[in-house]
Amino acid sequence: MTKIKKIEYYFPENRVFNDSENRTTKKIGISSKYIAAENETALDLAIKAAEKIFKNGVIRKEEIDFLLFCTQSPDYILPTSACIIQEKLGLSTSCGALDFNLGCSGFIYGLSLAKGLIKSNQATNVLLLTADTYSKYINENDLSTSLLFGDGAAATLITKSEDDCIGEFVFGTDGSGAHNLIIYSGAAREPVASNGATKFVDGRGHIRNKSDLYMNGPEVFNFAMREVPESIYSLLEKEHKTINDYDYFVFHQANQYMLNALRKRLEIDINKFSIQMSDCGNTVSATIPIALKREIEAGKIKDGHTILLAGFGVGLSWASCSLKINLN
């Protein structure tokens, strides 16, 4: 039996505003986002989010027996960032720790891993950290990414519970679309040359290099519209529920245009649907827990509510799950 006991999040201090008159800005619904400092990493943001969990006294550091860190912005190729976080947070050396490289579906994958660890009696209290700093990979001239992605981190405490509040899961993967959201250069397949990554001129006439984040926006949109509804329908079948049985829906906060298109396709009431990225942008693996916490604080998600979560994006990867809110 498992439940989410606490969620906290953290943004860098530097806030950047998009041009409010820009047509793309209006379409995606993102007016500003937070950008990490030059010497600030996803690991740093994750630590600050985690410290907020401990400061409110819901759990002691020595009680954490597994740490999961989801990021695509690690400090190093090796060692594992989670090991560094364990030491910096002062967690027990008997605490398990691992990274997993996943983006927009990562929070739901992390919930599944945490639930598995707890239900198999390998852990009692799991700290799931989700953090990314995509800004370090973005070409400022590329409006398909520079207007969209913000930096941020979330810390989610998952614990053993008398009630099973984390329900069924549905997963999906299609690696044939990997090239539609990718950084080509910088790892083993295509290392950065000693004189820097190869520069080229993109379709908009901007000079880029292969270390920049590349996104084929139309293809990613088509993927989401094709796979996310099917994932939701599969989850409904697994849970023996209908759309109307859920009190609220929190999807990966990709952008306003995509979210509204999915909501209409699934015929979800606008008053039961979260859109929580206008001031912070798409924070990749951290969007769902940030939106969850904000909707709880706003009183839209209440104790006892049944929530449907859906994550989708880079990979291509997607996942959905059912969640019962237990605020006690």
Active site residue 305: no
Active site residue 104: yes
Distances in Å between the Cα of 45 and the Cα atoms of 34, 131, 141, 295 are 11, 7, 25, 22
* Residues forming a β-bridge with 152: 132
What is the rounded distance in angstroms from the CA atom of residue 306 to the CA atom of residue 168?
A: 12
Q: What is the pLDDT of residue 193?
A: 59
Domains for the chain: give ranges and CATH numbers. 2-164 (3.40.47.10), 168-177+213-324 (3.40.47.10)
**Residues contacting residue 20 through CB under 8 Å, at least 6 positions apart:** 26, 31
Active site residue 240: no
What is the rounded distance in angstroms from the CA atom of residue 95 to the CA atom of residue 319?
A: 27
Q: What is the pLDDT of residues 92-142, one digit of tens each?
A: 999 999 999 999 999 999 999 999 999 999 999 999 999 999 999 998 888
Residue from 139, 282, 305, 321 carrying the catalytic annotation: 282
Q: What is the pLDDT of residues 308-318, one digit of tens each?
A: 999 999 999 99
Q: What is the pLDDT of residue 209?
A: 80
Is residue 255 within 8 A of residue 28, CB to CB? The reply is: yes
| pTM value surpassing 0.85 | yes
Is residue 263 within 8 A of residue 248, CB to CB? The reply is: no
Q: What is the pLDDT of residues 268-291, one digit of tens each?
A: 999 999 999 999 999 999 999 999
Residue from 104, 165, 280, 321 carrying the catalytic annotation: 104
